[in-house]
Amino acid sequence: MEKYAVFVPKLVTKRENFAPGHRACIGCGEALAVRLACKPLGQRVIIVTATGCIEIISSQLPYTSWRVPWIHTLFENTAAVASGIESGLKILMKKGRIAQQEIKVVAMAGDGATSDIGLQALSGAMERGHDFLYICFDNEAYMNTGVQRSSATPFGASTTTSPAGRVSIGQVTWKKDMPAIAAAHDIPYVATACPSYPFDLMDKVAKGAATPGPAYVHILSPCPTGWRFAPDLTVRLGRLAVETGIFPLYEVENGTYRLNFDFPKLRPVTDYMKLQGRFRHLSEDVINKIQQRVNREYAKLREKVK
């Protein structure tokens, strides 16, 4: 799609399957990412959503933001519900009970629902090889319940359950590498994306949806409420996460790595961190430690791309 960059905006559908009028906070990166993801998915999909911000902002009875078939059941079982829908549709088509046609099952869940409580169900579904796309909307904490840490919360971030205090820097563990866990299942398609790069995001969702078998797209979704930044900085923060190398955009297609945006020189991590209240308390030492880690991880990724 990069080749047609000038025309691309014209090619994107105007139809919003994730309708306006939902209840997300102003500047919500997750809502923006969901909206963008729904464009290439079109209408021949069934969406399964985990409990979390996406579900809460879009579904209060008797309203709905969904113009495509949508189901929510629980927090940790999204991949399992998707497995059931996919298997159900397949057998109903085989038995001639419903017409043979393409219907893509797409699971959407937060970082908590994905890398913590729902990891087992996701691992099972990927291992079994169901034909579905799983999208993780990673806002780096349990936002829906009030900004508690998850295993996707970055080192040094202050959350309500990893608060910075006199003797603590906040989160003391490094962000769990969820895309690598997905890739370790040897599924045909894994990608990272960010709504600050909308065409890249839509491209990857389209690719994931077109992939037969399990596909996993991990989308960094800046959250002004949880990260404590001004709501007009959402898109800028996404860009900075990528340009600092903190959240590189890459794809793993049948085991082959590809960096979608490479930077000869990464911006310093402080460019990204200083705009966010969750990192405000960090000393120079800790920031240096984070910088070194980012450099190291980015170099490792570059090795995989070669």
Partner 1 sequence: MAKRIGIEVSLAIAEAAKLADVDVVAAYPITPQTHIVEHLAELVANGELDAAYIPVESEHSAMSACLGASAAGARTFTATAGQGLELMHEVLYVASSMQLPVVMAVANRALSAPLSVWGDHSDVMAVRDTGWIQLFVENGQEAVDNVLCAFRIGEDPRVLLPVMIHLDGFHLTHMIEPLLFPEQSQVDKFIPPYQHPMPLHPDRPVTMGAFAPPIIYFETKKAQEVNLEAAKEVILQCWDNFGKTFQRYYSPVECYRSEDARVLLLTMGSFSETAMTAIDKMRGEGREVGLLRLRLWRPFPFDEIRQAVGNAEVLIVLDRALSFGGPGGPVCSEVRSALYSEDKRPKVIGFVGGLGGRDITPAGFEEIVDRGIEISQKGSDQEFEIFGVRE
d(CA 55, CA 78): 12
Stretch 120-139 residues interacting with ligand SF4 (CB under 6 A): 139
Q: State in angstroms the smallest separation of the CB of 173 from ligand TPP.
A: 16
Task: Specify the 3-state DSSP secondary structure of 257.
Answer: strand
d(CA 181, CA 244): 23
Phi, psi of 283, deg, nearest 5: -80, 165
DSSP classification of residue 266? P
Residue nearest ligand TPP (C-beta atom)? 110
Q: State in angstroms the smallest separation of the CB of 112 from Mg ion.
A: 5
Q: Does 25 sit near ligand SF4 (CB under 6 A)?
A: yes
Q: Which is nearer to Mg ion, 65 or 221 (CB)?
A: 221
Stretch 44-83 residues interacting with ligand SF4 (CB under 6 A): 53, 57
Residues 6+ apart with CB under 8 A from 5: 199
Among residues 17, 18, 28, 250, the one that binds ligand SF4 under rule CB under 6 A: 28
Cα angle 11, 15, 18 (rounded to 5 degrees) comes to: 125
Q: State in angstroms the smallest separation of the CB of 53 from ligand SF4.
A: 3
- Among candidate residues 18, 22, 47, the one with its CA nearest the CA of residue 35: 18
String of contacts with Mg ion for each residue 129-148, x by CB under 5 A: ----------x---x-----
Stretch 211-240 residues interacting with ligand SF4 (CB under 6 A): 223-226
On whether the CB atoms of residues 236 and 267 are closer than 8 A, the answer is: no
Q: Does 72 sit near partner 1 (CB under 8 A)?
A: yes
Q: Does 106 sit near partner 1 (CB under 8 A)?
A: no
**6 dihedral zone (left: phi>0; alpha: psi -120 to 50; beta):** alpha
Q: Does 119 sit near ligand SF4 (CB under 6 A)?
A: no
String of contacts with partner 1 for each residue 193-232, x by CB under 8 A: ----------------------------------------
Where does this chain bind ligand TPP (CB under 6 A)?
A: 30, 51-54, 75-76, 109-113, 137, 139, 142-145, 150
Helix (H) and strand (E) counts for the chain?
12, 10
Q: Does 77 sit near Mg ion (CB under 5 A)?
A: no
DSSP classification of residue 134? E
d(CA 181, CA 179): 5
- What is the DSSP track for 28-70? -HHHHHHHHHHHHH-SSEEEEE-SSHHHHHH--TT---BSS-E
Q: State in angstroms the smallest separation of the CB of 133 from ligand SF4.
A: 21
The two tokens of residue 3 are 């080749």
Binding site for partner 1 (CB under 8 A): 43-46, 48, 55-56, 59-64, 66-74, 76-77, 79-92, 94-95, 97-98, 103, 120-121, 123-125, 127-128
- Residues forming contacts to ligand SF4 in the complex (CB under 6 A) are 24-25, 28, 30-31, 53, 57, 139, 143, 223-226
